[in-house]
């Protein structure tokens, strides 16, 4: 029986690398896995860790690179799209780039070029599609994004609904967890908090901005479960899920969790209002999410925030 083909778009990023690890850890290796890269070539450490995975350069803006994937890998059974311009300030500075990268038009154009329109597209969206004026948003709540990043992700969701019959859209909150095999250049939230508090300096954290951060290995488990359901059942899905952790926490509460686990003095945490800082982009205040549908659909209960922080810090060494 031939293996099922899985393509991770954005495989050198934070979630992408954790996904490659997740697929490689499955007993019996039921998948042939390939991944794409754009900003920088895959480092030797990553290629060494996953020697059987094919790596392809890909430009989502232009679609350059898809032909090579078709020739060497073929039509994937599952595509996981982790690639995005995901820094809100960068999206605000260049809305055209945000739209051209975050709306997967070239990806769906490529999938549409195959005779069989059967590939499952698992697409990473964001909690920033919500306006941020209440707690625990549900999937059916209206999307009123307050910044370009959120707007580009809403446009992506609408594009997928209109253009592709088989998809799961995951509205993810802040993803946290251990560093990747090949360290990513962006700052990781828990590691950053740990780093600044370890210096003993007083640091400002927002007390009035709420999220439902999710442990990275839970996101991987969700994606693996969706792939398994599709490949075993074969029925097209049109699924939209909030993908957050079970806890609604402020930035102050996130910092307090790290401080308590590490034994830092919590007086180093200075609570300030998010409105007191100009970040060059509007940030929604409370985009905590109701994850009832996620838990009921996949029978997966995400890790409590404090437990995820403990798991992250156990792996990190400073």
Please say if the pLDDT value at position 264 is more than 90.
yes
- In this prediction, residues 192-203 reach a mean pLDDT of 95
Residue 71 and residue 45 in contact, taking contact as beta carbons nearer than 8 Å: no
**Which pLDDT does position 317 carry in this prediction?**
53
Bridge partner list, 140: none
Q: Is 6 helix (H, G, I), strand (E, B) or coil?
A: strand
Residue 169 and residue 241 in contact, taking contact as beta carbons nearer than 8 Å: yes
- In this prediction, residues 205-233 reach a mean pLDDT of 96
- In this prediction, residues 286-301 reach a mean pLDDT of 98
- pLDDT of 127-139, one tens digit each? 999 999 999 999 9
Please state which of the ranges 37-51, 62-76, 142-156 shows the lowest mean pLDDT.
37-51
Q: What is the DSSP string of 260-281?
A: HHHT--GGGEEEE-GGGS--SS
- pLDDT of 102-154, one tens digit each? 999 999 999 999 999 899 999 999 999 999 999 999 999 999 999 999 999 99
**Which pLDDT does position 39 carry in this prediction?**
81
- In this prediction, residues 201-226 reach a mean pLDDT of 97
**Which pLDDT does position 280 carry in this prediction?**
87
> Rounded to 5 degrees, what angle do the CA atoms 159, 164, 166 make?
130
Tokens representing residue 9 in the block:
């778009």
Residue 63 and residue 109 in contact, taking contact as beta carbons nearer than 8 Å: yes
Query: What beta strand segments (E) does 82-212 contain?
Result: 120-126, 167-172, 175-176, 203-206, 210-211
Please state which of the ranges 42-56, 65-79, 205-219, 304-318 shows the lowest mean pLDDT.
304-318
Interacting residues of 6 by C-beta distance below 8 A, sequence separation 6+? 23, 31, 32, 33, 34, 76, 77, 78, 79, 80, 227
Query: What is the pLDDT of the chain when averaged over all its residues?
Result: 95
Tokens representing residue 54 in the block:
């094919």
Q: How big is the chain, counted in residues?
A: 318
Phi and psi dihedrals of 165, rounded to 5? -85, -15
Higher pLDDT, 233 or 262: 262
Please say if the pLDDT value at position 318 is more than 50.
no
Tokens representing residue 63 in the block:
């679609």
- In this prediction, residues 48-64 reach a mean pLDDT of 96
Q: Which domains does the chain have, with CATH numbers?
A: 4-179+214-246+288-302 (3.40.50.720)
- pLDDT of 5-33, one tens digit each? 999 999 999 999 999 999 999 988 899 99
Strands of the sheet with 54-57, listed across from one edge:
54-57, 31-37, 4-9, 78-81, 120-126, 167-172, 238-243
The torsion defined by the Cα of 179, 217, 75 and 29, in degrees rounded to 10, comes to 100
- In this prediction, residues 236-262 reach a mean pLDDT of 97
d(CA 134, CA 145): 13
> Parallel, antiparallel, or unpaired: how do β-strands 167-172 and 120-126 relate?
parallel
């Amino acid at each position: 029986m031939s293996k099922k083909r899985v393509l991770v778009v954005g495989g050198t990023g934070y979630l992408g690398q954790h996904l490659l690890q997740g697929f490689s850890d499955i007993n019996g290796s039921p998948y042939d896995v390939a991944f794409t890269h754009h900003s920088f070539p895959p480092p030797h450490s990553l290629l060494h860790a996953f020697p059987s995975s094919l790596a392809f350069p890909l430009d989502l803006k232009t679609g350059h690179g898809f032909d090579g994937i078709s020739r060497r890998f073929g039509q994937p059974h599952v595509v996981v799209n982790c690639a995005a311009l995901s820094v809100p300030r960068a999206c605000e500075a260049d809305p055209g780039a945000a739209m051209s990268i975050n709306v997967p038009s070239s990806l769906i154009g490529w999938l549409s070029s195959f005779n069989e329109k059967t590939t499952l597209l698992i697409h990473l969206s964001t909690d920033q599609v919500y306006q941020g004026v209440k707690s625990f948003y549900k999937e059916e709540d209206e999307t009123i994004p307050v910044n370009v990043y959120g707007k580009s992700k809403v446009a992506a969701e609408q594009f997928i609904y209109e253009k592709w019959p088989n998809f799961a859209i995951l509205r993810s909150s802040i993803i946290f967890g251990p560093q990747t095999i090949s360290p990513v250049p962006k700052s990781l939230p828990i590691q950053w908090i740990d780093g600044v508090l370890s210096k003993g300096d007083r640091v400002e954290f927002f007390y009035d901005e709420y999220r439902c951060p999710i442990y990275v290995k839970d996101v991987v488990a969700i994606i693996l479960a969706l792939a398994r359901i599709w490949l075993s059942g074969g029925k097209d899905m049109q699924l939209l899920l909030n993908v957050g952790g079970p806890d609604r926490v402020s930035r102050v509460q996130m910092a307090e969790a790290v401080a308590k686990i590490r034994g830092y003095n919590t007086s180093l945490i200075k609570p300030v209002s998010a409105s007191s800082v100009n970040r060059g982009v509007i940030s929604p205040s409370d985009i905590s999410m109701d994850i009832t549908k996620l838990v009921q659909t996949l029978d997966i209960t995400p890790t409590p925030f404090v437990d995820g922080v403990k798991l992250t810090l156990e792996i990190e060494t400073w």
